[in-house]
Amino acid sequence: MLTHAQVWSAIDRLAARAGLSASGLAKRAGLDPTTFNKSKRITPQGRARWPSTESIAKALSATGTPFDAFVTLIEPGSAGGAVKPVPLLGFAEAGNGGYFDDGGIPAGAGWDEFAFPAVNDEHAYALEISGQSMEPAYRDGDIIVVSPSAPVRRGDRVVVRTRAGEVMAKELLRKTAKAIELKSLNVAHPDHSIPATEVMWIARIVWASQ
């Protein structure tokens, strides 16, 4: 018997295979961005809400996935592979208070989830890019997965949060006891040199949907 949880898990796996969040998959399929969100899977009265066959068909068409491949995603341990949900937040929101602790670990409410195929850091999280300021490296709607525990080396793409609340994605050029030097991903924007005392945390980007 097909269960409510199996169908929604298959949609999460479908999104992950395409490098998208649930809302990203809905947008690509031409649906309301909230169609596949966690909050839409249970009604306010606590009853299970199933995705419509039309919404599933549009998602399969948008990702070029045949129906028989979607069926394999329904079965646990299937060819779709295991996925682990990681917290997901819009990049523009990451600078607001309440989403991270002082060490750059996700905290508080307001996070969504992104079904990611494999992650070794229990504190890893995902950010959804908005706007064109990081093109061509990252485009509007792309998802990046960030690992707070991964070692950071010169040449890595990183997310940095300053004590003033600014969050940016850059390439690490140099890190010393006094400052970190960052290269902008968009040539139209200047590079940055930030005093170490102004950096709250820095974390490596370990994956990005492309």
For residue 179, give every residue at least 6 positions away whose Cβ sits within 8 Å of its Cβ, in sequence order, or none. Answer: 193, 194, 195, 196
What is the homologous superfamily of the domain 84-208 according to CATH?
Umud Fragment, subunit A (2.10.109.10)
Q: The tokens 């409510």 sit on which residue?
A: 4
For residue 80, pLDDT beyond 70:
no
Could you tell me the pLDDT band of residue 117, with boundaries at 50, 70 and 90?
low
CB 111 within 8 A of CB 89: yes
Start-end of CATH 2.10.109.10 domains in the chain: 84-208
Helix (H) or strand (E) holding 151, with range, is none
**Other C-beta atoms lying within 10 Å of the C-beta of residue 40:** 15
Domain with CATH 1.10.260.40 in the chain: 4-74
Amino acid at 18: A
Return mean pLDDT, the chain: 87
Provide CATH code, domain 4-74: 1.10.260.40
CA 27 to chain centre: 15
CA distance 81 to 83: 6
Q: Which residues contact 120 (CB under 8 A, 6 or more apart)?
A: 147
- The model's pLDDT over 143-179, given as tens digits with 9 standing for 90+, comes to 899 999 989 999 999 999 999 999 999 999 999 999 9
